[in-house]
Amino acid sequence: MTADDRDVRDGMAADGRDVGAAVATRWPHVRAALIALAIAFALIDGLPLPPPADTPAWERGFVDDVRAVQRVALWPVAWMHPRLRIAQRWALYQAPSDHVWRVWLEARLPDGRWNVVYRTDGADDDGYGAILEHGRVRGPLDIRDTPPEQYALLADWITARVLADMPHVTAARLRMERVQLDTDGAHPSGQFAFVHVRERGVP
Amino acid sequence: MKRLWNAWIALWDRREPATALALVRILLASVLLIDYLWLAKLGMVHALYAPPPTGFAVADAVVWYGVLIASLACAAIGAATPLACIGVVVATVQLSAAAPDSEAGSDVLARIVFLILALSRCNARWSVDAWVMRRLGRPLSPDVPAWPRYLLLLQLVWVYFSAATNKSSAAWGPHGGFTALATTLLDPQATWLSPNLVVLLYPLTRVATALTMVFELSAPLYMVALWRDWRRVRIAWLALFFAFELGIATTMTIGSFPFVMLALSPVLIQRLNTRAPANRASSPS
């Protein structure tokens, strides 16, 4: 260990200054610079650029250039998005759709009739609403144009649960009905999609 | 330029009472704790965070649910606070990876807030840490660096302003007749209100849509109002904030989002302090 090392260990720099005091004096400058950097990265990340698929043709040339510059500028902090799962673009209620989907969870009785176990804004005699309407469970059911990644997994799980809860039914089904929204109210269309059926005894 | 830089340094070097940061820690951790414990009450923890056939997650994160509950409890009471805050961030990252569709914007925001709280002295008040340090004869200073609260304030303001600038539907503006909120409230998955009631309240929803845009777009103005101490502007914007979040909380069924935002309100309410640091030689933070 050199004399300098010993001095630093003892809180004194080689020229006799107090290391703690020196750090404390410099720290506000370093912190202010780090905060300025963090704010700059956040603002660049949060630029309200339209997604590539939704960019109008006339904007594309300009927006694509900005997006490329944004990607380069964010390179030093690019690791944060996948590792910390944070971002600074807040698209809350970006574009409410004039059509939505409502959930139908059904069980097939031994005579072949389908019985509604749960429907959004409708039947819920068996208490599945408490599960399917929970904010965290509802995410996989929040269908826009295509179902979310976990929709098929949730459909598989909930239909298996219906079969386990109701030993007398022969099958369970989850499907989504398109509902049209306008100023007169919500109008169920009778059109179904994203149908998932689980037969008893079939893995 | 040098004057500007010195003013910037002085701004982030201010100190203030730890009240707002401590309240945010307690309120946010409590809101999330209730939200996640409710999942256990419903018997949904394994369903949400275990892969098939037990649940519908894309990876197994049940253990991380336990880590999150313990971390949130510690953060709420202020025990080993920085570690607890980091625990919340790490655990929610794992839960988010296992159940990506169960994540809401408020979860992303909570992660950012806990990262900042981990670097703050939010445990200087109403915490086990403060009590222990007092018993050890080394009490924590009640005056703490203000920069974490300023950053949280900026973050909140940015959330609203960014939300406004990212709204891509004409329904949020005059060209679409300010119909966005009515459409949102007609979605049977997003509200408990009956469609008939929404239709009856239709003119009111248009006013509320316009006020939502005013509130979100004027968020940066709130910063100026705080800076210049424009009392009326501050009160008006805060009134819009509480009306907006309480309106969402009472009419919509979208989980913990409005409660997370309300839990962050102490950072908005506490005024800016111009006090310089009391003791430059104290440990950096």
B/e letters for B121-149, b = 16+ CB within 10 Å, e = fewer, are: bbbbbbbebbbeeeeeeeebeebbbbbbb
- With CB atoms and an 8 Å threshold, state whether B56 touches A42: no
pLDDT at res. B277: 59
Sheet of A185-199: strands edge to edge? A114-119, A99-108, A171-182, A185-199
Confidence at A75, pLDDT banded by 50, 70, 90: very high
Rank A51-60, A87-96, B106-115 by mean pLDDT and report only the highest. B106-115
Report ipTM (2 d.p.): 0.89
Q: How confident is the model at residue A3 (pLDDT cuts 50, 70, 90)?
A: very low
- Residue A158 · residue A134 · CB < 8 Å: no
Cβ separation B35–A135 shorter than 8 A: yes
Considering the domain architecture, whether residues A193 and A103 belong to the same structural domain is answered as yes
At residue A5, does pLDDT exceed 70? no
Q: How is chain B split into domains, by residue range?
A: 17-135, 159-273
Q: Which of the four pLDDT bands, split at 50, 70 and 90, describes residue B75? A: very high
Omega prior to B53 cis, within 30 of 0: yes
pLDDT at residue A127 in the model: 84
Do residues A119 and A168 share a domain?
yes
One DSSP character per residue, B124-142 reads GSSSHHHHHHHHTT-PPPS
How far is it, in rounded angstroms, from Cα A164 to Cα A167? 6
pLDDT-derived band at B117 (thresholds 50, 70, 90) equals very high
User: How many angstroms separate the CA atoms of A86 and B77, rounded?
Assistant: 26
Q: What is the pTM of this model?
A: 0.90
pLDDT band at B173 (very low <50, low <70, confident <90, very high): very high
* Inside any domain, residue A91: no
Buried b (16+ CB within 10 A) or exposed e, B36-52: bebbeebebbebbbbee
pLDDT band, residue B167 (cuts 50/70/90):
confident
Query: For residue A171, what are the contacts with CB-CB under 8 A and spacing of at least 6?
Result: A107, A108, A163, A197, A198, A199, A200
Residue B193 has pLDDT above 80, yes or no: yes
Residues in chain B with CB shorter than 8 Å from the CB of A160 are 53
Tokens of B59: 């990876």
Q: Do A27 and B284 touch (CB under 8 A)?
A: yes
Tokens standing for residue B179: 């119909």
Beta bridge partners of A186: A181
Q: Is the pLDDT reported for residue A15 higher than 80?
A: no
* A77 and A12 assigned to the same domain: yes
CB A90 within 8 A of CB B159: yes
A80 and A148 share one domain: no
Residue A130 in any domain: the answer is yes
CB A53 within 8 A of CB B127: no
Question: Is residue B3 very low, low, confident or very high in pLDDT (cuts 50, 70, 90)?
Answer: very high
A34 pLDDT band, cuts 50/70/90, is: very high
The pLDDT of residue A201: 81
* pLDDT at site A159: 96
Distance from CA of A203 to the nearest CA of B (A): 11
Q: How far is B131 from chain A (nearest CA, A)?
A: 26
| Shortest Cα distance, chain B CAs vs residue A179, angstroms | 8
Contact criterion met (CB < 8 Å) for B196 and A185: yes
**Least confident window among A50-64, A160-174, A188-202, B155-169:** A50-64
Instruction: Kindly state whether residue A108 falls inside one of the protein's structural domains.
Output: yes
Per-residue pLDDT tens over the stretch B132-158: 999 999 999 989 999 999 999 999 999
Whether B58 contacts A150, CB under 8 Å? yes
**Residue B109 CB burial class (10 angstroms; 0-12, 13-18, ≥19):** buried
Q: What average pLDDT does the segment B152-176 reach?
A: 92
Residue B281's pLDDT band (boundaries 50, 70, 90)?
Answer: very low
Predicted confidence band of residue B274 (pLDDT cuts 50, 70, 90): low
Residues of chain B with C-beta less than 8 angstroms from the C-beta of A186: 186-188, 195
Looking at chain A, which residue has its C-alpha nearest residue B99?
A150
pLDDT of residue A143: 87
Mean pLDDT of B201-218: 95
Q: Nearest-CA distance from B206 to chain A in Å?
A: 11
Question: Does residue A4 register a pLDDT over 90?
Answer: no
Containing A121, the helix (H) or strand (E) segment is: none
- What percent of chain B is predicted at pLDDT more than 90? 80
Which residues from A are below 8 Å from B56, CB to CB?
Answer: 140, 150, 153-154, 156-158
Cα distances (angstroms) measured from residue B18 to each of B30, B46, B216: 18, 38, 28
Q: How many domains does chain A have?
A: 2
Residues A58 and A115 occupy one common structural domain: no
Cα R_g (chain B), whole angstroms: 21
A132 shares a domain with A190: yes
Q: How far apart are CA B234 and CA B238, in angstroms?
A: 6
The lowest-confidence range among B42-46, B68-72, B146-150, B188-192 is B188-192
Residues A186 and A104 in one domain: yes
Biggest CA-to-CA distance, chain B: 65
> Given a cut of 90, is residue B48 above it in pLDDT?
yes
Q: Read off the amino acid at residue A60.
A: R
The answer on pLDDT for B200 being more than 80 is yes
Residues A142 and A192 in one domain: yes
Alpha helices, DSSP H only, in A87-147? Answer: 129-132, 135-138
Question: What digits encode the pLDDT tens for the residues B214-223?
Answer: 999 999 999 9
What integer pLDDT is reported at residue A55 of this predicted model?
A: 75
Q: Report the alpha-carbon distance of residue B74 to residue B71 in Å, rounded.
A: 5
- As a whole number of Å, the CA-based R_g of chain A is 29
CB–CB contacts below 8 A, A to B: 193
How far is residue B185's CA from residue B253's CA, in Å, rounded to a whole number? Answer: 10
Q: What is the mean pLDDT of chain B?
A: 92
Average pLDDT over residues B197-216: 94
Crossing angle, helix B147-165 and helix A19-45, to 10 degrees? 10
**Where residue A8 falls among pLDDT bands split at 50, 70, 90?**
very low
Distance, C-alpha A135 to centroid of its chain? 12
Diameter of chain A measured on Cα atoms: 94
In chain A, what residues touch B185 (CB-CB under 8 Å)?
Answer: none
Give the domain range for residue A141: 99-199
Contact B198 A185 (CB under 8 A): yes
- Is B168 in contact with A92 (Cβ distance < 8 A)? no
Please give the structure tokens belonging to residue A5.
Answer: 């090392």
Confidence (pLDDT) at B80 = 97
Do A19 and A110 reside in the same domain of the chain?
A: no
Please list every residue in chain A whose beta carbon sits closer than 8 Å to the beta carbon of residue B186. 181, 185-186
Do A125 and A167 belong to one domain?
yes
Among the ranges given (A39-43, A82-86, A119-123), the one the predictor scored with the smallest mean pLDDT:
A119-123
**CA–CA separation, A155 and A177 (whole Å):** 15
pLDDT higher than 80, residue A9: no
Closest CA to B31 of B267, B268, B255, B254: B255
- Residue A116 scores a pLDDT above 70: yes
Per-residue pLDDT tens digits for B5-45: 999 999 999 999 999 999 999 999 999 999 999 999 999 99
Residue closest to A171 by CA, chosen among A196, A135, A134: A196
CA distances from B70 to A84, A171, B63, B192 (A): 20, 40, 11, 33
